[in-house]
Structure 1
Amino acid sequence: MSSNSTEDDLCAPDDTLCRVREHQQAVIIVPTLLLFGSLVTILALILLRYCPERTRPRVTARQSYNPSSHRHTQRHRHSHSHSRHLQGIDAPPGLNPLEHEELPMSVQQVQQNVKPIPVALHQTSTERHLEAFSQVTALPVSFPIKPNNAVSLYRARMGSRDVVLSVLKETANSSEKQHFLGFASFVSGLGPHPFIPTLMGVISVQPPFTMVVEELQHRDLLGFLWKCRQDNSGLESPYEMTEQRIFTMARQVASALNYLHSQSCIHGNMGARSILVSSNLTAKLWGFGTAYRRTQNNSSGEVEVMELKKWQAPEVLARRGATQSSDVWSFGILLYEMATLGDAPFSELMATELLQHLQRGKHLRRPAACSNSLHAIIRSCCQWNPQQRPSTSGLIGQLQAGENSANGRTVLRAPEPINIERYIREAGYGEGYNYAVL
């Protein structure tokens, strides 16, 4: 008799449970083990296939940075298309020991070896080597007024380029972190322009949060103008200002301001302190802190009151809000600063007296050795009625014409070096301080 017949005889004909027990090993357990083994094998193959890619930093678009507390304007959303020109990278370990500071960026590999990738304000970007930044040194503050205690500034080399690192301090609170990342997002949204400092990227994946911007050798225009006061006779010195150079640099700034206005953005902090100067004396517009705060603040009056009043248009002094025409007024004050090699405007007045002074029809005094064409542009920018001031596009044309006919040989001189303490008093510096030196 076969074995099957023997097993069947052990169970009663109607005992189904007995028959299941007799055959469970062959019918249930073995197929189950085979199925489990197949699933484990398939899972192992999937992990081997996809694990290496998960370990690589992933790049996301800048739009991924979207804190709920940030109000992004329509202009800012429209400008996202420019972010494709920027490059981003993960925070290099070499930055961790630094004490920290203030400026825009995300790091990338040496420029020649890296393909352009979108900047990542809230995610990682490409890998970064320890030697990404070299020759890192603290950037001295040249203007001793109320520094930003939340950030630290450093000068460094990134590949073959000189850059400035603005690093958020580890002691920064949540509000300061939000402001830092929000400002970085705002600046990156402005997009590239030849007369705006190049934003190299923003490190925001992990502390220390860092912005990286190209370094401009002569730093702020105000300090450059003060150096032009020195006697450089007989020397080949870059610290020389002619009227033709005033027109050239002013045209460059006007071009950047016109670009800003085309994005429905008001600068709100125009002045020599907010202009940076490169090694070839190209002027680039910076100092966007006020413009960013305006996007975060419902009351424009609360923003403008923080800035230097002697650069503000009458309507801003009267708390009627800033407009693009208000930037044009401040641009006229900038031209005055350039023509006087860094004198404070309305130096004979207290800031609280300025509005009444202007209401009486008074104007800026004419700088010594200022040509009729340059003085005419200053007067047109500083018209009481905003509608009578030129547009930024009109300004560019006037400055171009002045540049073509201006004196490019006679070097401007000032009677004496700048006295910092007197300048601070005459410029009306108080608690509101927004100096944009890099």
Structure 2
Amino acid sequence: KNQQESSSPENCYIQLSEASVESLLNFASLTLKELEIPREKLSPGTLQLIKRGRYGSTYRAQLETENPRKTKTVVLKALQGLASAQEVKYFLGRIKFHQDLGHHENLVELVGCCVDQLPLYMIMEDVSLGDLLTFLWTCRKDVMTTDGIPYDLTERQVYEVGQQVAAALAYLEQKKLFHGDVAARNVLLHHNFTAKLCGLGLAYETYTYGANSVTQIVPVKWQAPEKLLKKPCSIKADIWSFGILLYEMITLGAPPYPEVPPSDILSYLQRQNIMKQPSSCGQAMYGIMKSCWQWNATNRPSPEDLIRALQTAIKTSNDHAVLQVPELVVPELYANIAGVEVHSLVMEYTIL
């Protein structure tokens, strides 16, 4: 009887919405079975804290592979042991959402999960250079190298990373989704300059609960006007944020609208203001930024249009001059100007 009940979607939903933590985990062990990784394969003592989150922390860890002498580095998103049934349901939903989203080379990949008991782990691929914002800040330091690879960035590389993020947005659009929080802090970078869009929590919440039920807070300086005005959003709101991402890259991680307090950003935009052209930014790139910052969402490019514009501009871009910004970033000051929580910034920057 129980098996029959759980196979009916309505009953599943009722069962889940009123479920205890134990029944949620029992259900997850069936629905997420192919993703389940035994906990003992995560080498004990290898957990390194990356950042603290709302429901739990993010760690870097070592995962055993088929070869007993070899491990691979992964990133764990953890849900702490004292989680409520509601938090467990949300976390399991995020894992399922990632599984259903499927594979795209420019979206961070789900490796597996541990959902047999608390704490729960969502296991993601590790992306060697970490988040793009920290990378940009590190590029401000004198000739930083890691494994012999210099931390520097040219205009052409900004376009290359931009194309990859735009490709991820095109994929989300095909899936009738949008990201909702496009920013350098939500892009991960590999040594070979492959970029991966991450931070899909808002996309999951919008898809699952509808746009009006979203609880995740997005810093206002990255938001499109329609979002600030609490109007319905689409992928075109991501396009606005993409323009801010280009600004972040070309300025090596400067906070947007440095002269405008976060609380004044809507009235600033309502007066038809946009950010001025940064000194390090060429005309073609600023043209793309301005197209992203059209007040009317329908006038902004689609992800496909954006990819074409970036492909055209990259042909005449500079691949020799390294972008340089002499000032180092003070994370607390940045957080204040950007309107982000300082604890949301990755902890590694201070160590580098």
Cα 1:351–1:271, aligned 2, differ >3 Å: closer, same or farther? same
1:329 matched to which residue of 2? 240
Contact kept in structure 2, 1:274 and 1:435, CA below 8 Å = no
Q: Rg bigger for which structure? A: 1
Give TM-score scaled by structure 1 length.
0.67
Q: 1:290 aligns with which of 189, 197, 202?
A: 202
Matches within 5 A, 1:47-126: 67-68=13-14, 122=31, 124-125=33-34
SS at match of 1:405: coil
Residue in structure 2 matching 1:372, options 283, 297, 306: 283
Query: Once the 2 structures are TM-superposed, how far is the Cα of residue 134 of structure 1 from its aligned partner?
Result: 3.1
Alignment of 1:9-408 (within 5 A): 67-68=13-14, 122=31, 124-125=33-34, 132-134=41-43, 136-141=45-50, 147-159=53-65, 160-232=71-143, 237-298=149-210, 300-301=211-212, 303=214, 306-408=217-319
Q: Is the 8 A contact 1:136 1:157 kept in 2?
A: no
Residues 1:170 and 1:405: Cα distance change in structure 2 (over 3 Å): same
Are residues 201 and 411 of structure 1, via their aligned partners in 2, closer, same or farther at CA, if it must alter by over 3 Å?
same
Cα deviation code 1:412-438 (max 9, x no counterpart): 01120011121111101259x876999
Q: Deviations over 1:1-32 (max 9, x none)?
A: xxxxxxxxxxxxxxxxxxxxxxxxxxxxxxxx
Is this contact kept in 2: 1:276–1:283, CA < 8 A?
Answer: yes
Gaps of 5+ in 2: 1-6, 18-27, 66-70
Kindly state the Cα deviation for residue 162 of structure 1 after the two structures are TM-superposed: 1.9
Q: Structure 1 173/243 Cα, relative in aligned 2: closer, same or farther at 3 Å?
A: same
Distance 1:129 1:241, change over 3 A: same
| Number of residue equivalences | 324
Q: Structure 1 residues 302 and 348, CA, compared in 2 at 3 Å: closer, same or farther?
A: farther
- Closer/same/farther in 2, CA of residues 321 and 218 from structure 1, 3 Å limit: same
Helix, strand or coil: the match of 1:134?
Answer: coil
- Structure 2 Cα separation of the partners of residues 392 and 207 of structure 1: 39
2:336 maps to a residue whose letter is: R
Distance 2:242 2:119 in 1: 36
1:129–1:317 Cα change, 3 Å = closer
Partner amino acid, structure 1, of 2:285: L
Residue deviations 1:372-412 (CA, integer Å, cap 9, x gap): 11111111111111111100001111112222221111100
TM superposition score normalised by structure 2: 0.83
123 and 282 in structure 1: CA distance in 2 versus 1, 3 angstrom threshold: closer
- 1:66-92 deviations in whole A, cap 9, x for unaligned? 544779xxxxxxxxxxxxxxxxxxxxx
**Is the CA contact (8 Å cut-off) linking 1:170 and 1:208 kept in structure 2?**
yes
Query: 1:149, CA displacement in angstroms?
Result: 4.3
Mapped partners of 1:128, 1:305: distance in 2: 28
Distance 1:437 1:421, change over 3 A: closer
1:422 aligns with 2:328: no
Q: Structure 1: give runs of 5+ residues left out of the alignment.
A: 1-60, 72-118
2:183/2:244 contact within 8 Å kept: yes
- Secondary structure (helix, strand or coil) at the match of 2:77 reads strand
Q: 2: CA distance between counterparts of 1:320 and 1:194?
A: 31
Q: CA deviation at 1:275?
A: 0.5
Deviation at 1:367, TM superposition (A): 1.3
